[in-house]
Each structure stands twice: as structure tokens, then as C-alpha cells.
Structure 1
């Protein structure tokens, strides 16, 4: 047989490498697919802030975690750090005012995890059985109002009494007296200061507990003295 008609087992037919082109196209498509997924899952801080602002008006509270946990965690940490810094500053400023006026025995200040608690002995603020603020207490409360105005925090004011029933025609029980005293303090902050110094009434809540939330036993004058008090609680901001 002529050599030109012999079959060559090593002959690849000239088209055996075409699968490489198809494989290359597949790899390229997969690469584009994963790049697209990555771009969809990544939200930079500027995009996240824009999304957060747009959703805040409709009450979406969890967008920072659901859209990008790392960005949300960072913002939460910043909020918490700022709130702690605010509380420390308020505590230092109020304590300085109280110390300078020599009122440590009349006003107690506690810097707690959830906020700052100020406890005022009743005789510093009011006469016995009355709910009208004494003149010498207004100066201190005005300075505290100035500090509160700078930080714009939520504030709760509570009135408390001892367990001795009140005996006058103005108040029928310790409920009324404790509530009236708390209202007198909040009215000073929101209504009675000069117009430019008043605090936003929306930031306040008021409660009167009578003798029902004592901090000491009422079986001695010392204990009853501790229980007759006004508390101003400045709330620490909660991260959202």
C-alpha cells in the first residue's frame, strides 16, 4: 500500500484543542460572577450612611447590622463611646458645681452604667410639707440646667417622701406631695428660667412615688431623712 494512504494513529485531526477555548470562556464567566457577588455584598461607609439616612424615616432600626455588620458594629461602638464620654463630662461638671457650693451633704451624685443619678435632700429644696422651691436651691438647679442644655439628654425627675402621713390642707397624701415637688423642679427647668435658658420639656418625665420607694428604713429619723428626697436621673443614650 502506498505510504500516502497509511492511517496515522497519532494524527489528532487538527481540532482537538478547541475545548480549551470553551474552558477559558467558562473560567472568565465564573470570575465575573464572583466579582459581581462581591460588589453586591460590599457596602462602603458613604453608601451605608446614605442608606441609613433614607431608611431612618420609616423606622428601620436594624439596617446597619443587616446591610453590613462590620460598619454597623463600628457605628455602634462610636455611639457608645460618645455616650460614655458625655456622661463622664456631665458627672464632672455637676460634681464641680456641688463641691464649689459646699453641698456634698445635701446632694449626692452617682455615675452609673445607665446614667447619672442626683439625689437632693428635701430640706435643701423645700420647706416641710411644701412643694415650692427655696430661693437658695434655684441657683444650683439653674447651673445644672445649663449643663443639661449642652448635652440634650433624657431626664427623669422623681419625688419621694418618708412614711409619715402628711397633715395639711394642701396635699391629701404623700403621693400628691412627692408628685408636686417633682413637678416644681421640672417647671423650673422648662418654664421658669429665662427663655434662652429653658430646657426642652419633651426631654423630661416626672414621677411621684410617695413613701413607696425608700432607700432606707423608716424606723429612725436618719432613715426617714434619707427617704425624703428628689432624684434627677440623667439617662445615658442607648446605641440603636
Structure 2
């Protein structure tokens, strides 16, 4: 008996003693080894590709820098269409001149300039123009508005001054509600422009109270942003 036969017989005897079923590989099953090798290589390749890509897009990176909380805008849709103007248009050019003028006066951060399809909108916080619950322009408010006068004189736009408040109610002997307060504030700005020489037929005042919020009124920051005066330049002057 050859050495191979002795080895095989020994393995069989040990397997029988340990009650281990003895299986014999065949050439027909050898393809499984190759198949498993290929699957293993593919799995390794996919793991490497996934690691290089930074992981699934739906998984947040814990190393990402956290951004500070922002004020959530109110869902009003009031300006989604009106504040988009084509580059190089006359309103855009006028807005650029206005920004340069305000920057030179140091008011670039206090007055927001927004080009629109047929004009320009200036947005100023009530906290700068008026005292709390008041409709008389502050000294700082007058100074800021006077910087807009050259821009108004250099255009033929119709000028609408719109007063806006937050949602907190007011009830005084002079202002029974936010309607009266927002209208009185708009009127104060219109009178300033009229006294400075802006033609009456180009001016109008409107009070919107808290009906057109830009931000949610359930936070102090949101309410502060909603208390504002908007000076809207659009269209041609009235005849």
C-alpha cells in the first residue's frame, strides 16, 4: 500500500472515531472556490470605493461645522417674484448707485436696497427711525432718510412709503391699533420727503400693520425684522 493510501486510511479512521462526516472534494466543486474569491474581491473593491467617496450622501458628517440658528422666514410669497430683475436692467443700475451712495454715507448696513422688476425697494428698521410705539422720526432716522433724497430727486419713480409693525398689539389714546401706528409712521416719512422738495404727485403713504411679515413673529428677532418702513420706487410719476 502506498504512502497516500496509508494517509487516507488514517484520516478516515480518525474521522470515524470523532464521528465527523468525511467529504471528498471533486473537480465539479472547484469552481465554487474561484467564485467565492471573485465575490470577495468585488466586496473589498466596493468597500474601498465607498470609503473614498466619503460615505452615503444621506449620512451626516459629525465633523461638519454647525451653523448658527437663523430666523425662519414667514411663508408669505410677497417678494418671491418681484425681487428678481435681469442683470443690467435700469432698476439694477439704480440699485447699484443707491448702494454706493449709502456705503459712502456709512449706511450700507442700515438700509437694505432691493431691485425689483419695475423699480427699487429700500428697507429700513423701525427701531432706527422711531422710538418704541412712536411715529415721530428720531434724529438718526431723519439723517438716514436725508441720504435718500438725492436718489429720489435723480429719478422719476413713484414713491410709496409703507409702514409695517410686528404682531404685538398696541392700544394707546393716539394709536388704538397697529393700523394707526404703521400709517402714522409712513405719513411721517412722506412729510419729510415732501418738505425736502419731492413732488406731492409722486408720494403716497400706506400702513400695513402686521399683515405682511417677512419673518415669524414668535421670536424677538423675527418681530424686530418685521418692524420696518419700506420706501418703494416703481412705475412712472402720477400726472
Structure 2: how far apart are the matches of 1:150 and 1:97? 12
Structure having the larger proportion of residues in helix: 1
Following TM superposition, by how much is the alpha carbon of 1:84 offset from its aligned partner in structure 2, in angstroms?
3.8
Q: How do 1:131-210 residues align onto structure 2 when only pairs under 5 Å count?
A: 131-191=135-195, 193=196, 198-210=197-209
* Cα pair 1:84 1:236 within 8 Å, conserved: no
Instruction: Please report the TM-score for the alignment, with normalisation by the length of structure 2.
Output: 0.58
> Per the alignment, in what secondary structure is the counterpart of residue 166 of structure 1?
coil
The residue that corresponds to 1:97 in the other structure is 101
Structure 2: how far apart are the matches of 1:201 and 1:90? 22
Following TM superposition, by how much is the alpha carbon of 1:170 offset from its aligned partner in structure 2, in angstroms?
2.1
Q: How do 1:22-171 residues align onto structure 2 when only pairs under 5 Å count?
A: 84-85=89-90, 87-171=91-175
Structure 1: how far apart are the matches of 2:168 and 2:191? 26
Following TM superposition, by how much is the alpha carbon of 1:108 offset from its aligned partner in structure 2, in angstroms?
1.0
Deviation digits for residues 60-100 of structure 1 (CA, Å, limit 9, x no counterpart): xxxxxxxxxxxxxxxxxxxxxxx943x34431232123223
The residue that corresponds to 2:231 in the other structure is 232
* Cα pair 1:149 1:199 within 8 Å, conserved: yes
Instruction: Please report the TM-score for the alignment, with normalisation by the length of structure 1.
Output: 0.58
Deviation digits for residues 188-216 of structure 1 (CA, Å, limit 9, x no counterpart): 0002x2xxxx0101111211010111111
Judged with a 3 Å threshold, the aligned counterparts in structure 2 of structure 1 residues 105 and 169 are, in CA distance, closer, same or farther, namely farther
Taking only aligned residues, the RMSD between alpha carbons, in angstroms, comes to 2.2
Deviation digits for residues 144-165 of structure 1 (CA, Å, limit 9, x no counterpart): 1222112121111100000101
* Structure 1 residue runs without a partner (length 5+): 1-82
The residue that corresponds to 1:220 in the other structure is 219
The residue that corresponds to 2:10 in the other structure is none
> Per the alignment, in what secondary structure is the counterpart of residue 151 of structure 1?
coil
Deviating beyond 4 angstroms after TM superposition, the runs of 4 or more aligned structure 1 residues are none
Deviation digits for residues 121-168 of structure 1 (CA, Å, limit 9, x no counterpart): 001111110011111222232231222112121111100000101143
Structure 2: how far apart are the matches of 1:102 and 1:221? 26
User: What is the total number of aligned residue pairs between the two structures?
Assistant: 151
